[in-house]
Structure 1
Amino acid sequence: MYIPQTGLSKEEILATLRAFKSRDMDWKAGKVFCYVYNPGEDPAEVTREAYLEFLTENGLDPTVFPSMLKLETDVVRMTLNLLHGDANAVGHLTTGGTESILLAVKTARDKARAEKPHIKEPEMILPKTAHAAFHKAAHYLCVKPVVVDIDPQTFKVRAEDMEKAITGNTILLVASAPSYSQGVIDPIAEIGALAQKHNLLFHVDACVGGVHLSFMRKLGYEVPDFDFNVPGVTSISCDLHKYGYAAKGCSVIMYRSKAIRKYQIFACTDTTAYTLINPTVLSSKGGGPYAGAWALMNFLGEEGYKRIVQTVQEAAKKLMDGINAIPELRVLGQPAMCMFSFASEVINVYQLADEMAKRGWYLQGQFSTPLTPRNLHVSLNFGNAHRVDALLADLRDGVKIVKTKTPIDSDAIRAMVGAAVQSPDPEAAFGQLAVSAGLTGTDLPSEMAFINEVLDALPDALCNVFLVNYFNDLYS
């Protein structure tokens, strides 16, 4: 594609953009159970208008745009107050959970460099259920991830197993509130005690749960302490663009004190250009996400958030009870909030996901591990809470249909994958595997069950290579 010689009209442009979305899942219909968090039309409209009001402003230099500083300070302080940060607690807005997590790891690494210079190969200890963003941060920042197994019944990490993994190179402990995959909260208080005992930083990933769990607590639900209430917690990430319902591109990274936060900030006066001071990863930062979050939080208020959370929790209980009432399906663990996963010993859940997709539903497939079965993930939010009955009806029908289909031969796929791994020409073998799985060219596959079976059978390291190569071809 080239820049057109003559510009298109506004009408042509908008019509074309809308046409691009024709193959997208219809999230507005409430049938997509991840990626999008819809607070309803009135809050969304306020967010859109506020976002556009600050579309052009740049958060790079607060002396030029003090409005951006005001917006960020207000949003961070509202979030800190929700998560029991005291007057010493501080934070910054970031573009998302991955950036927040990356900054928490960077802060731990740089603090260790300054205060524990004898550590040459820093390590962070994280549960198997920790978000992949921690592995990405480890890769970017040359910090070794030490992964601890979880309890296969509760899907939570055990504090005693975390302690066994601590070495002289450990700089950071990590836990989730909740973990994305099964929606359970790790034993934060116990791990906080470990952090204090061993003089370590401790990051709680509350990207999905920070706002929702806080309002569950205010509504009287039983929620274990997970935030700055817990001694030993030194940093928390919380995405406002998930269950805070803000526009995409807004997360908060928070620290117990400025003494920790200072290791996050980067400054450079070593060039002929302007002085660069970056509290977060980005330099230029659009004002839209800042203003959108500020507007939404003030529009909803505590009472608005409580109404949303109550509605969603009631729908989540109904959905989980309904899934457990389907004999072939079961919810994994005891989810702490409105996100969870379900599995089956009777049918292939990847085939069920395809059957549901034909009916317009999107349920997110998750691969198996030695401690967890293959499963489908659900993040229920206000925008699809009203669709629970319809989803359950289609799940019941979908299970019946999948049971009539020829099951995918998992043993044959594992044998095929094993042969590719042992091949003297693995690149050619994996190319053939990609063809078999339907992962070729730039066309997105319409069905994912066979592809997910192949990817699930691959060893993690090879699956990563496989996906890197596919995405390298997918994008221009």
Structure 2
Amino acid sequence: MSSADDVLAELRALRAADLPTHGGRTLAYVYDSGLDGLDELSAAAHALAASANGLDPTAFPSLLRMENDLVSAASELLGGTARTVGSVTSGGTESCMLAVLAAREGNPGIAEPTVVLPSTAHAAFHKAAHLFRVRPVVVPVDPVTFRADPASMAGAIDDDTVLVVASAPSYAHGVLDPIAEIAAGAAARGVRMHVDACIGGWILPYFRRLGRDVPEFGFAVDGVTSVSVDLHKYAYCPKGASVLLHADSELRRGHFFAGAGWPGYTMLNSTLQSTRSGGPLAAAWAVLRHVGDDGYLGLARAALEAVEEMRAEITAISGLRLVAEPDSTLLALTTDDDGIDLFTVADEMGTRGWYVQPQFAHGDSPVNLHLTITAANRGSEAEFASALHASVAAARTAGPVVVDEGIAAFLADLDPDSLSEEEFGQLLAAAGMGGGAGLPDRMAEINAMLAIARPRLRERLLQEFLGILYRPG
């Protein structure tokens, strides 16, 4: 038996290899308010409710009260009415999946339901379509602005459509789709409309209060029937906590589950989970109450100022540009200069203590680097700019990463569905991704190969890589 001190020391040693979650240098995955004491508050609240089980809200009425409080706060921020209802979920993916499930179950007469998605919609909707047997109908977006096209979205709706989706904003480019126009098209056909505001839902209303021109995207828009917003993003709550709002309880009913056909208790679930720790719920509730409306306005101001300054720093570097004009806190930077390899820039930023997320080319969207800006980035913009200048210069010196023509031809001919697990293992080992030890420090060459692989092959390679990682011992 190990002592508590020894166990915690071991945990700290394990965590030392992780990307930093504070300080604004990890520009994906984490959201840092920069507020002193918030971690301690949320950890204490989490501990107080961690053993409570959200499976039965009548047994743990504290969790029911906190969940209703969180839903009420989200509803007020996003234009909800007295009829608006919601559920707290484990994260944005679960919220989006439940929106699809509720729409499917709310249309039992449709044998082969479809969901209409802009090509920039989050992959969570494709996951939902896959798991719930709903066919995704993907509609191209504007090739310059990367916003969904309302006319094309409306034209994709047919008698099998159960849901139309738009983003506020899209993850890849940080732009808002024209929600009102898309919602009008859905409403004209009597189809539900979901707004994925997982990233923007808790900060864009404050941007509007700060004077930014942010169009309505919530329930103030006619035709919007559901909205998702993550609390563990710009509400700066611990993971995982998200809210899925529905305009009324009838729209929500389809993602509730009841199971009485067995000898045990009648199981009732409001989300995909059954047992749910009260910890994340209590932590989110505590953070929202502590930060408050004025606090979130201040955090939004800090994030907005950081976005504007970092945007200016990026566009001042010769050879760099933004893929799209950002509407929120997400920036996607790219290059038209063949001498700048963005995968190398990402590696160089890593050596300087900054994590930026490479995004592969898809359709009209070029290879780019994704940056998620938070309030914690305010004050470190000059450090970021210095690191980016140096990283671009190093990438120019190194020159572009070139994939051998033979390897490129080999990848082009591979049928991902015909390869065995062992063959995938050999491919991953040859690429430097085998053995279960994780990724190498520098990824430019691997990313260059993945970039030329067909999406299906890339999916299979990374699925097999995940399978290698998740093996004990």
Q: Is TM > 0.5 for Structure 1 vs Structure 2?
A: yes
- Output aligned runs, 1:35-434, within 5 Å: 35-39=29-33, 40-113=35-108, 117=109, 119-346=110-337, 347-410=340-403, 412=405, 414-421=408-415, 431-434=425-428
**CA 1:423/1:159 → structure 2, altered by over 3 Å: closer, same or farther?**
closer
Distance 1:176 1:199 in 2: 20
Which letter does structure 2 place at the counterpart of 1:394? Answer: A
Q: Given that residues 414 and 454 in structure 1 are in contact (C-alpha distance below 8 angstroms), is that contact kept between their aligned partners in structure 2?
A: yes
Q: Given that residues 420 and 426 in structure 1 are in contact (C-alpha distance below 8 angstroms), is that contact kept between their aligned partners in structure 2?
A: no
Which letter does structure 2 place at the counterpart of 1:458? Answer: A
What does the per-residue CA deviation read over 1:117-168, in whole Å, with 9 as the maximum and x for residues that have no partner? 1x21111010111111001101110000111111111011101111221222
- Output aligned runs, 1:25-44, within 5 Å: 25-39=19-33, 40-44=35-39
What does the per-residue CA deviation read over 1:84-136, in whole Å, with 9 as the maximum and x for residues that have no partner? 000001001000001101100000000011xxx1x211110101111110011
- Equivalenced residues, count: 466
Residue 385 (structure 1) shift? 2.6
Distance 1:245 1:26 in 2: 16
2:283 alignment partner, SS class:
helix
Residue 246 (structure 1) shift? 0.6
Q: Given that residues 105 and 254 in structure 2 are in contact (C-alpha distance below 8 angstroms), is that contact kept between their aligned partners in structure 1?
A: yes
What does the per-residue CA deviation read over 1:255-314, in whole Å, with 9 as the maximum and x for residues that have no partner? 000111111111111111111110111111111111111111111111100000001101
Distance 2:73 2:51 in 1: 24
- Structure 2 residue runs of 5 or longer lacking an equivalent are none
State the TM-score, normalized to the length of structure 1.
0.95
Residue 208 (structure 1) shift? 0.3
User: Cα RMSD over matched residues?
Assistant: 1.7
**CA 1:311/1:425 → structure 2, altered by over 3 Å: closer, same or farther?**
closer
**CA 1:257/1:450 → structure 2, altered by over 3 Å: closer, same or farther?**
same
State the TM-score, normalized to the length of structure 2.
0.95
- Output aligned runs, 1:8-23, within 5 Å: 8-23=2-17
Give the stretch that moved more between structures: 122-131 or 157-166: 157-166
- Output aligned runs, 1:448-467, within 5 Å: 448-467=443-462
1:41 alignment partner, SS class:
coil
Residue 384 (structure 1) shift? 2.6
Q: Given that residues 423 and 429 in structure 1 are in contact (C-alpha distance below 8 angstroms), is that contact kept between their aligned partners in structure 2?
A: no
1:120 alignment partner, SS class:
coil
Q: Given that residues 168 and 200 in structure 2 are in contact (C-alpha distance below 8 angstroms), is that contact kept between their aligned partners in structure 1?
A: yes
Distance 2:26 2:255 in 1: 35
Which letter does structure 2 place at the counterpart of 1:339? Answer: L
Distance 1:262 1:421 in 2: 42
Distance 1:282 1:315 in 2: 37
1:254 alignment partner, SS class:
strand
Q: Partner of 1:436 in structure 2?
A: 430
Give the stretch that moved more between structures: 50-59 or 425-434: 425-434
Q: Given that residues 349 and 355 in structure 2 are in contact (C-alpha distance below 8 angstroms), is that contact kept between their aligned partners in structure 1?
A: yes
Distance 1:415 1:348 in 2: 21
Q: Given that residues 181 and 377 in structure 1 are in contact (C-alpha distance below 8 angstroms), is that contact kept between their aligned partners in structure 2?
A: yes
Distance 1:130 1:388 in 2: 29
Residue 433 (structure 1) shift? 3.7
Which letter does structure 2 place at the counterpart of 1:87? Answer: A
Residue 218 (structure 1) shift? 2.1
**CA 1:460/1:397 → structure 2, altered by over 3 Å: closer, same or farther?**
same
Distance 2:419 2:58 in 1: 59
Distance 1:52 1:283 in 2: 20
Distance 2:27 2:60 in 1: 37
**CA 1:93/1:108 → structure 2, altered by over 3 Å: closer, same or farther?**
same
Q: Partner of 1:4 in structure 2?
A: none
- Structure 1 residue runs of 5 or longer lacking an equivalent are 1-6
Percent identity for Structure 1 against Structure 2? 41
Q: Partner of 1:3 in structure 2?
A: none
Residue 42 (structure 1) shift? 2.4
Distance 2:28 2:378 in 1: 13
Q: Given that residues 178 and 184 in structure 1 are in contact (C-alpha distance below 8 angstroms), is that contact kept between their aligned partners in structure 2?
A: yes
Residue 425 (structure 1) shift? 6.7
Q: Given that residues 356 and 398 in structure 1 are in contact (C-alpha distance below 8 angstroms), is that contact kept between their aligned partners in structure 2?
A: yes
